[in-house]
Structure 1
Amino acid sequence: MSEKDHRRLLDTRARSPWRIAEAAAARRRRSLLQGRDRILVIAADHPARGALGAGRRPMAMENRADLLDRLMTALARPGVDGLLATPDVVEDLLLLGALEDKLVIGSMNRGGVQGSAFEFDDRFTAYDSASIVRMGLDGGKMLCRIGLDDPATAGTLESCARAITELASHGLVAMIEPFWSRRVDGTVAHDLSAEGVIRSMHVGQGLGATSAHTWLKIPVVDDMARVMRATTLPTLLLGGDPGETPHRAYAAWREALRLPGVRGLVVGRALLYPSDDDVATAVDTAVAMLEVE
């Protein structure tokens, strides 16, 4: 993104906010898989939960112009299918013209701010079903952390179920990201054993009045072949933050992408903030993984 583009974006935000709706209405859309077996979606909804870190950089995502620049680089690479983000990021990229012929999945529940006393309260503070329909997006994504000892989980389950039903009534994807979670020394931690992921999948895929348009978004863990036997729903792999060992993460992704039912990757920080800051090469590496037999 050039300095001129950045200044134009700032000016449009201040003077002509209606152009966001105009850009959404005019956006060229595409089908979900569009003749492909697997897709790559770039995720950028972490900042809305106050989660700005990537690798060893605790404030990596603090600069919005830098984030947008990285996103535009990633979205322009051949083989990148779309974006998963909150309204603020989606709208910036709409105004910059970066979402033509891309899938756009709106992130819905960002209320569980990282590190807060209410982190399990994943209430819907971003997109809702009506706004996803109004903006012409292709679906909505929900975080669903299941904390057996936290009463806020009940509200999260009910809200996610309602959103899945509403999105399905419009034929839109409901992307559910379930975790079996608990607090460890005051910090929310996920059970990333095969058993923990399988339990979370069964709860997640049972939400809503129909699962016809539900997709799962799950982490890559040990024994993924066993994990994928837990569902018949289309499943995307969560990239997460590989830290200083991206080669290990990439190897695990490659292996999991070969499994039946896996329909691609949803990756954010690992591709937007690689250790060498070469976004294009990181994205191209992920795209190449999708071409598996």
Structure 2
Amino acid sequence: MSETLAHRAVCASYADVTEVRASDPAAIDRAWATRIARPTVRGNGRLMIVAADHPARGALSVGDRPTAMNSRTDLLDRLRTALRNPGVDGVLATADILDDLVLLGALDDKVVISSMNRGGLAGASFELDDRMTGYSAAGTAKAGMNGGKMLCRIDLDDPGTLSTLTACAEAVDSLAAAGLMAMVEPFLSRRVDGKVKNDLSADAVIKSIHISQGLGSTSAYTWMKLPVVDEMERVMDATTLPTLLLGGDPQTAPEETFASWAKALALPSVRGLIVGRTLLYPRDEDVAAAVDTAVSLVH
């Protein structure tokens, strides 16, 4: 596949990407139109997805490194390393990143999921009014992607939550009308000392599932993206929707993280992992090894 990807790439370097963007921006649409797509589910029905939509929300930190994701070319290097692993089924990202990757020939035969609402900027007073400032359902469909993902943080004390819920409900309907996956990532959230914190207790995650899985006028195309927390058996009993586990920002030793994923992956409605910083920015900087471990858990 690597030879095929290299042959199909519009650009061979990051300098080429910038040149094409400046001189022939229509090349991006052509690259999407000729990309080799794939169905969302195939083989054993499980998915290993890498995520890279944090920068568009101003979230550039990884663990105790506040500027870890500052470099776009470094992030692209890490993503391309991950996507070269045949066990990595696809990627979730915003348009700036996905357009770079399609020009570089890295998205053939991969599941591609768009990131839709990036308006809730990290640390902003309006963080929980998370409107759709990324991909639209129409843009997702035009590019031949598999679906779109929306973050749905719910703070009962913040009126901005209502705008987020409304936007997510509309996105669920628009994606479903196009026959595309609508992936919802819910949290019960609250402000602590002015900062938004997600409640990762089992009961809070369960409540967020029930609120978010009812969004829209159909659930036929809705999937969940959920954090791995204590009592995952009880958490997953809250839904019949196919679910991908969220990796999140690494806070524990890699061995503990991988062990918690392995246990949760054994639950019937869990269909795989969708992981970003834990795999792309491992403590030992060995991206390929971290990806290999995650792939072995899923496939």
Question: With structure 2 as the length reference, what TM-score do the two structures score?
Answer: 0.95
In 2, Cα distance between the equivalents of 1:258 and 1:102? 24
Which residue among 40, 55, 60 is the counterpart of 1:47?
A: 55
Within-5 A mapping of 1:1-293 = 5-243=13-251, 245-291=253-299
Q: Matched residue pairs, number? A: 290
CA contact (8 A) 2:12 2:104 kept: no
For 2:139 and 2:12, the matched residues in 1 are separated by 30
SS in 1 for 2:13: helix
CA RMSD of aligned residues (A): 1.2
Judge conservation of contact 1:112–1:118 (CA < 8 Å) in 2.
yes
Q: Is the Cα–Cα contact under 8 Å of residues 139 and 174 in structure 1 kept in the other structure?
A: yes
The structural deviation recorded for 1:230 is: 0.3
Gaps in structure 2 of 5+ consecutive residues: 1-5
Distance 2:44 2:121 in 1: 35
Change (3 A) 1:114 1:176: same
Distance 2:141 2:297 in 1: 32
Structure 1 segments, 4+ long, off by >6 Å, are: none
Task: Quote the residue 2:3 is aligned against.
Answer: none
Distance in 2 between residues matched to 1:282 and 1:19, nearest whole Å? 33
Check the 8 A contact 1:55/1:275 in 2, yes or no: no
Moved more, 223-232 or 129-138: 129-138
One-letter amino acid matched to 1:179: F
Q: Does the CA contact (< 8 Å) of 1:147 and 1:181 recur in 2?
A: yes
> The residue matched to 2:259 in structure 1 has which SS?
helix
Deviation at 1:225, TM superposition (A): 0.3
Q: How far off is 1:243 after superposition?
A: 3.2
Deviations 1:177-204 (A, max 9, x none): 0000110110101110000000000011
Distance in 2 (CA, whole Å) between partners of 1:16 and 1:101 is: 25
> 1:4: how far off?
5.6
Q: Within 1, Cα distance between the matches of 2:280 and 2:123?
A: 23
Distance (whole Å) between structure 2 residues aligned to residue 81 and residue 202 of structure 1: 28
- Report the Cα distance in structure 1 between the residues aligned to 2:233 and 2:42, rounded to whole angstroms: 26
Amino acid at match of 1:93: L
Conserved in 1, the CA contact under 8 Å of 2:244 and 2:273?
A: yes
Alpha-carbon contact 2:153-2:189 (below 8 Å) kept: yes
Shift of 1:10: 1.4
What is the CA–CA distance in structure 2 between the aligned matches of 1:48 and 1:67, rounded to whole Å? Answer: 13
CA positional deviation for 1:244: 5.2
In structure 2, give the amino acid aligned to 1:30.
Answer: R
**Equivalent position SS for 1:237:** strand
Query: What TM-score does the superposition give when structure 1 sets the normalisation length?
Result: 0.97
